[in-house]
Amino acid sequence: MFKSKKIVAVCIFSILALNVLMGQNYYGRVRSYPLPKTTIERLGESALRLAEQILAKNNKDTRGLLLLSFANHLIPTNREVLLIRGKLKFKVPLKAPKKKVDEKEFITLLGQSRDHINDSDTAMNRHVLAILNQLIRSFNPKEEDAIIALMEFSDKGVEVDINKLLLKKLDAITDTKFDPKDSRYAISNIKKTITIPSNTPWTDTWIKVKTGKMIRVTAHGTWSMGDEVDFPACDPNGYMGYDVKTLKRWSATSKKKQAFTSSRKAKRSGAPGCLLAKIGNKEYYIGKQMTFKAESNGILYFGPYEWGDYLDNYGSLTISVEIYD
């Protein structure tokens, strides 16, 4: 009996320790908070308690769900956050917390936190300020300081949709640097989503990379290297099991290809129709998912492995590309 209790105690201690380590690892990955860590945690915990109060009465309440998303955004490894999210997911009734949070005190805390951030010139600061101002407006839609701040951000092209902001992870927010000679091109670590059409040889990502940079790509969707009626579609891995010679014979009847010109991709290890990347003169097989190192400086492009004419292609892929060290 004593041994059983000891084993249970050890297991509980291990779980709690793991939870703490996860939290430390998460906070360690966030490069720079615009607020003290203690304030971030207090905001998250207060939002969680208030969300729990609201959702205990109505588990579909819009403001309650927004506050829960905010808490999850700030303290995602917190046990209580995971528990409440789990109860909502698995339809377990919520009980009002014993320790309640006064709504007016929470609004004051939001305002104080906003005022503490006196510099909005970094991606992290802009991100947190936009969220705080939107939360303040969820309680007081006419709050003028919040309205002005959000309009200034919107005019500068900064994201102000709170649902989209809360989907981002704090440890993934970085400042993007642009080429001083051509400001259309990002030259720093960046993560973005791009649509790659099948009827264009190479699509410009507006990203310039340097030798040695790591590039992580994930692709979704289908496209076809022929007309929509007669030629089948394929996923980013291409026409697996077919070689170019077979597809050329297929094209002779079901696909009217022009003469094979210099626009054709170089011979790669990937199947025809697969997703490729290019930096300088170097091509890289991507498929559905790939991480690779840039072997030269240059603009990053993506396109389909086409063996002839691009004009009758249809469809597109959606890719997520991340540049990191």
Q: Report pLDDT digits (tens) over 48-73.
A: 999 999 999 999 999 999 999 999 99
Domain count, the chain: 2
Q: What is the percentage of the chain residues whose pLDDT exceeds 90?
A: 58
Q: At 195, which amino acid appears?
A: T
Q: Which residue has the tokens 């309650």?
A: 64
Q: What is the pLDDT of residues 278-321, one digit of tens each?
A: 999 999 999 999 999 999 999 999 999 988 788 889 999 999 99
Q: Do 232 and 272 sit in the same domain of this protein? A: yes
Q: Is residue 21 part of a domain?
A: no
pLDDT at 18 over 80: no
Q: Is residue 242 part of a domain?
A: yes
Q: What 3-state class would DSSP assign to 112?
A: helix
Q: Is residue 204 part of a domain?
A: yes
* pLDDT higher at 264 or 159: 159
Q: What is the pLDDT of residue 120?
A: 62
- Give the dihedral sign, CA 168/171/175/176: negative
pLDDT at 8 over 90: no
- Give the separation between CA 153 and CA 165, rounded to whole angstroms: 13
**Which of the four pLDDT bands, split at 50, 70 and 90, describes residue 22?**
very low
Domain of 306, in residue numbers = 178-324
> What CATH number has the domain bearing residue 283?
2.60.120.430
Q: Do 53 and 159 sit in the same domain of this protein? A: yes
| 97-101, 139-143, 191-195, range with greatest mean pLDDT | 139-143
Q: What is the pLDDT of residue 153?
A: 87
Q: Is residue 155 part of a domain?
A: yes
* pLDDT higher at 34 or 83: 83
Of 113, 137, 171, the position where a domain reaches its end is 171
DSSP 64-105: HHHHHHHHHHH-TT-HHHHHHHHHHHTTPPP---SS---HHH
Q: Do 206 and 249 sit in the same domain of this protein? A: yes
**Which of the four pLDDT bands, split at 50, 70 and 90, describes residue 248?**
low
**Which of the four pLDDT bands, split at 50, 70 and 90, describes residue 101?**
very high
Average of per-residue pLDDT values in the chain: 84
Q: What is the pLDDT of residue 130?
A: 95
Q: Do 183 and 304 sit in the same domain of this protein? A: yes
Q: What is the pLDDT of residue 252?
A: 52
- Give the separation between CA 216 and CA 277, rounded to whole angstroms: 11
Q: What is the pLDDT of residue 230?
A: 67
Q: Is residue 246 part of a domain?
A: yes
Q: Is residue 19 part of a domain?
A: no
Q: Do 86 and 140 sit in the same domain of this protein? A: yes
Of 123, 146, 171, the position where a domain reaches its end is 171
Q: Is residue 200 part of a domain?
A: yes
Q: What is the pLDDT of residue 241?
A: 78
Q: Is residue 23 part of a domain?
A: no
Q: What is the pLDDT of residue 167?
A: 92
Q: What is the pLDDT of residue 251?
A: 58
Of 152, 171, 190, the position where a domain reaches its end is 171
